[in-house]
Chains A and B, each alone.
Chain A
Amino acid sequence: MRALIASLLVAMLAGTACAADEAACFVAGHLVQADFALPRVAAAIAAKHLKIVVLGSASSALPGQEGVAKAYPARLEDSLARRLPGVDVKVVTHTKARDKAVEMGKTLELVVAEDKPDLVIWQTGTVDAMLGVDPDDFRSALDEGVDTLQAGKADTVFMNMQYSPRTDSMIALGSYLDAMRFVALQREVLLFDRLAVMKNWNEMGVFDLYTATKKTDTAEKVHDCIGRLLGRLIVDGAKLAQTGDTGSGSPGGTLNKDLH
């Protein structure tokens, strides 16, 4: 079964130069589902201007000259532009390699004030796990970050760590993953489970994440797929807000509670 899927994928991937095949990405599609609505995004799509900020650490970027264009924030912009014809989609990236969640929380205040995004994708966890930050502190940093974003009238999507098989036994992710899952559930925020998605790709043979290499092709495909899955998640979240809209005309933050 696995070999069959893998060979099919190889055949499909052979046709594409650099961008990953949509079908390959969506092998892990079942792991990315809109459990909560994105009302601000829905309103922004209706207004034809969608502004998204990606706040992340080093794993939200790729090295090299073309890194910015190939990393998932740019791929997300591309994916959304295709999914939402006629909507002006803009994705702004703020990445700082060694920022913990607490420091990112401070950046969030600036982001909300200056960029005024409709949605913030907050990628975090790896740095905190590597430094062994107290999981309680990590959790309260997430909580405060969500406060900031709600006060700034932006929707939130959390993104957790990468699946990195080589360092799997060296970085204890467990309590940080739990913290993100917990805060996401409690605050009704979407969680893009990057770890589960990448693990699934690796298990299904879509991408080989074990190989030591200097080439960037696999990394670029992985980021392209993350961008596509994120794009679908955001559109689904917005749709959820619309179906839950009672027609009052104001997509407020309470809609998602009814849907839940």
Chain B
Amino acid sequence: MAATEVNAMPPVIPAGRDLRLDLFRGLALWLIFLDHIPSNMVSWITIRNYGFSDATEIFVFISGYTAAFVYGREMRDRGVVVASARILKRAWQVYVAHIFLFVIYMAEISYVAASFDNPLYGEEMGIFNFLKQPDVTLIQALLLKFKPANMDVLPLYIVLLTGFPPMLWLLLRRPMLALGASVLLYALTWQLDWNLAAYPNGTWVFNPLAWQLLFVFGAWCGLGGAAQLAPFAGSRLVLGLAAAYLAFAFAIALTWYIPHIAVYVPRWLAEWMYPIDKTNLDVLRFAHFLALAALTVRFVRRDWTGLASPLLRPAILCGQHSLEIFCLGVFLAFAAHFAMVEISDGLSMQILVSVLGIVAMVATAALITWYKKVEERTHGPRKAPPNADLAGGEA
């Protein structure tokens, strides 16, 4: 093992663009959007209802993969300092995007606080109390401690990117050691209950110290780990185990929605299994993602002709501009909920806002792609910086 580690330097970075990354990140963005609209029947189609993991795992893994791909190349070609600076610049962009979304959220919540009154909901109106202390609230939001509901993914991403330069440095030199360090941090986090503090109470909803495992694992795969894993992940035994585990997770997920069959879950199993901790990326969730990934890689090949089909083009476009489309999705989920509250919350309305939202995401992604092309034509393709598109979209 040690010999291959040393030989892996410089790591073999697969060339060319893997459209599967774009495709599945795009799909994950759609699913996150659908899941963020409350009381939306359409969100029944999203994967969180059929097993332990959800679109967040896909998003974080692919983000790690592409970050390593883009910045790994940069670090080899232009040095540690330049690559680190670019990673931190990206983290800053995500931070600005998060604050922008926060302002939109504040606008929505202030409007609702001012216009909604109902004697039934005196208690729930307590959520607006923070409006009385804008000084504290805004500072805590800038510190990423105050995070409204459904606005937890970008702060996680910011922390992961900020901590990424040293990890990438290690990944390029000693990939197995880096992966081991990540597993160790994950284990210690579980053992010692580490997490970042949140405001006004509690801790981060997505614990970066635990979720880094998925990000680093993605990065490790992106730097050649995927090729190393391929024979193992493609073996019959692994695929069989993966399929069995997915079936098990599906059966358990059914009991969440049909309480009457919950009694068939043996007590010892329930006590061992629950709660399935999303905050700390439960091992069951991580394993569920791995099983999904193993089967996906087996059945959707890199050279699959379907990837070029116009049917999948919309999802791929969205996946190629993940930051913009993610932010748009969060905003559209607010807007969709707002439309449901103000106009109608019927099933047809739920379907309408879901479809319109995804259409808006695709149209925006197409617009960004078009604009980039126009810019390249005017100024010529930029020379030195790594071709982010090669990585299957942006990091």
Which A positions have Cβ atoms within 8 angstroms of B? 35, 57-59, 62-64, 97-98, 126-127, 130-135, 137, 139, 162, 164-172, 175, 178-179, 182, 185-186, 199, 202, 209-216, 218-219, 222, 260
Whether A170 touches B149, Cβ cut-off 8 Å, given contacts A97-B123, A209-B120, is yes
Q: Does B299 contact A (CB under 8 A)?
A: no
23 contacting pairs across A/B (C-beta < 8 A): A59-B120, A126-B126, A132-B202, A162-B120, A165-B345, A166-B112, A166-B341, A168-B39, A169-B37, A170-B112, A170-B127, A170-B148, A182-B274, A185-B262, A209-B118, A209-B120, A212-B115, A212-B116, A215-B119, A216-B119, A218-B120, A219-B118, A260-B263
Q: What distance in Å separates the Cβ of A166 from its nearest Cβ neighbour in chain B? A: 5
Say whether B119 contacts A214, CB under 8 Å: yes
Q: In the docked arrangement, what's the CA distance between A132 and B201, Å?
A: 5
Chain A residues, Cβ within 8 Å of B149: 169-172
Counting chain B CB atoms within 10 Å of each CB, the highest count among A130, A179, A213 belongs to A130
Say whether B126 contacts A165, CB under 8 Å: no
Chain A residues, Cβ within 8 Å of B201: 131-134
Chain A residues, Cβ within 8 Å of B127: 130, 167, 170-171
Interface size class of B (residues with CB under 8 A): 35 or more
Q: Does B139 contact A (CB under 8 A)?
A: no
Top-10 shortest CB links A-B:
A168-B38, A58-B123, A172-B149, A219-B120, A134-B202, A59-B123, A164-B124, A219-B119, A132-B202, A167-B124
Q: Does B181 contact A (CB under 8 A)?
A: no
| Given A137-B202, A212-B116, 18 other A-B residues pairs in contact with their CB atoms under 8 A | A57-B123, A58-B122, A58-B126, A59-B124, A98-B126, A127-B123, A133-B202, A164-B120, A167-B112, A167-B121, A168-B337, A169-B36, A169-B37, A172-B149, A185-B262, A212-B117, A213-B117, A214-B117
Chain B residues, Cβ within 8 Å of A171: 124, 127, 149
Partner of B150, one of A132, A172, A179, A222: A172
Say whether B123 contacts A126, CB under 8 Å: yes
Q: In the docked arrangement, what's the CA distance between A215 and B149, Å?
A: 29
Chain B residues, Cβ within 8 Å of A216: 119
Contact with A along B126-154 (1 / 0, CB 8 A): 11000000000000000000001110000
Chain B residues, Cβ within 8 Å of A97: 123
Q: What distance in Å separates the Cβ of B353 from its nearest Cβ neighbour in chain A? A: 13
Q: Does B166 contact A (CB under 8 A)?
A: no
